Amino acid sequence: MKIGFVTDSGSDIDLDYAEKIGVKVVPLTVTFSDADDVVHKEDRSFDLDSYYSKYDSVGDFSAKTAQPTPNDFFTIYEELAKEGVEEIIVVTLSSGLSGTMNSARLGVNMLKRKNETIKVHLVDALNASYSEVLLIEEGLRLQKQGLNGNEIAIKLREHVNNIKTYILLPSLKFLRKGGRISVTKYILGTLLKKKPITVVNEEGKNEVATTVTETDEGILKILELTSENFSRFPKQVIIIHGNNLEFAGRMEKQLKQHFQDVKIRTRCTGVTISAHTGPDVVALVSEF
């Protein structure tokens, strides 16, 4: 039985890598504060370097993301059907952070009206960024073991609990812009020069885990939180950064000091995280 895999651009997956492993990517859309309702798709045409440069060149720049439409997912489902796929596994951004999962589900309803034979299995990552890719990679491994689509989806929903994401924000500015914190907390945090560390909880929502004053302090705290004070260690980690290789390098240096023999990959995030955190964010996605 031929199985197809789908994810969204919020996964931060490299599109060449997605093509190599046979994964379809549904793009989110983004609008910029310096443009009049111009909608950009986070696909191959999206200029990530230009996007990040706007934070320096455009005063008070911000970006706003929007979930894909149900038709965006339906179109991908139809493409896979034409390729002979009989089962589809869809891994999306956390339903606690985005309406992407709902669009994927509505796209399934559209597909059923035209083709009732294809089975679509939806997997809520309850997370963001490269956690989705880790689930996709696990799904591909399970496929090679001979599991069918439903069996893979069940195991992936269980595997969600083995992935954790901690994010160090450079400031509270963009959380305030997005209405994620109150004015009082923003003013207090700014006066105290606090950098929040957020975690995606079991409900797939962001919550503040703690605050720090310096970047290196924050990176160490993330490692402590991830490993439960260095009592358990992930089998692999992904360093996610907001176009700041220096911060990513600092994270990697501390990882190698404290997490021996762990597999490390580094990825620059697209707009899904950075639109809510601003540039210079650094995060750690860990798989246990």
Query: Does the structure show a pLDDT above 90 at 187?
Result: no
> What residues form DSSP beta bridges with 71?
none
Query: What's the CA gap between 120 and 178, in Å, rounded?
Result: 33
Q: Of 20, 18, 38, whose CA–CA distance to 30 is shortest?
A: 38
How many other CB atoms sit within 10 Å of the CB of residue 73? 28
pLDDT value of residue 277:
83
User: What is the mean predicted confidence (pLDDT) over 57-62?
Assistant: 89
CA atoms within 13 A on the CB side of 127: 30
pLDDT value of residue 172:
62
CATH number of 163-287: 3.30.1180.10
User: What is the mean predicted confidence (pLDDT) over 194-202?
Assistant: 89
Tokens of 207: 């919550």
Burial of 146 from C-beta contacts in 10 A (0-12 / 13-18 / 19+):
exposed
Split at pLDDT 50, 70, 90, the class of 189 is very low
User: What is the mean predicted confidence (pLDDT) over 197-203?
Assistant: 91
- Enumerate the domain spans of the chain: 3-31+67-161, 163-287
Q: Among 62-66, 73-77, 282-286, which is the least confidently predicted range?
A: 62-66
> Which residues, in sequence order, are CB contacts of 190 under 8 Å at separation 6+?
171, 172
Is domain 3-31+67-161 in CATH 3.40.1280.10, yes or no?
Answer: no
